[in-house]
Structure 1
Amino acid sequence: MPVGGYDPDDLDEKLSQLMDATGRDPTNWLTAEEIAAWENGESLVDLLDEEDIRELLRKDDEAASDDAAS
């Protein structure tokens, strides 16, 4: 699902970083089949559902706000 004005590889990398930053296992967001597809090059943008993407981005925004307030 391309998003106008954004490089899909950049979005995928950002989502991957956000997933890692939570310290949670990827199985919190992806099924075993989706993890296998991700490991074979499928984009997280395509694999994650909209709510999971929003949650990850919201946490990133909150972290950025906390850093700015410090």
Structure 2
Amino acid sequence: MGVRLPIDPRVGLLSAEARAHLAAKACLRQFLGCCAATLLETEFRRHQIDYVAAILLPKIQKAQ
């Protein structure tokens, strides 16, 4: 029961790092809500978002 990402045909064209970053952002949006995640994304640099999402992802998956 992982986080569901919207199917986007462009994702196949992205690098593994870019796909992981998109997944991290999707996790934050699901966990925090869209507005809070957008604010968080504005505040932190890309690697910090990925780090925060890596901490939250197991919690999100457990909650589902």
| TM-score computed with the length of structure 1 as normaliser | 0.44
Q: Which has the higher contact order (CA 8 A, sep 6+)?
A: 2
Q: Give the structure with the larger helix fraction.
A: 2
Structure with the greater alpha carbon radius of gyration: 1
Report the TM-score, using the length of structure 2 for normalisation: 0.46
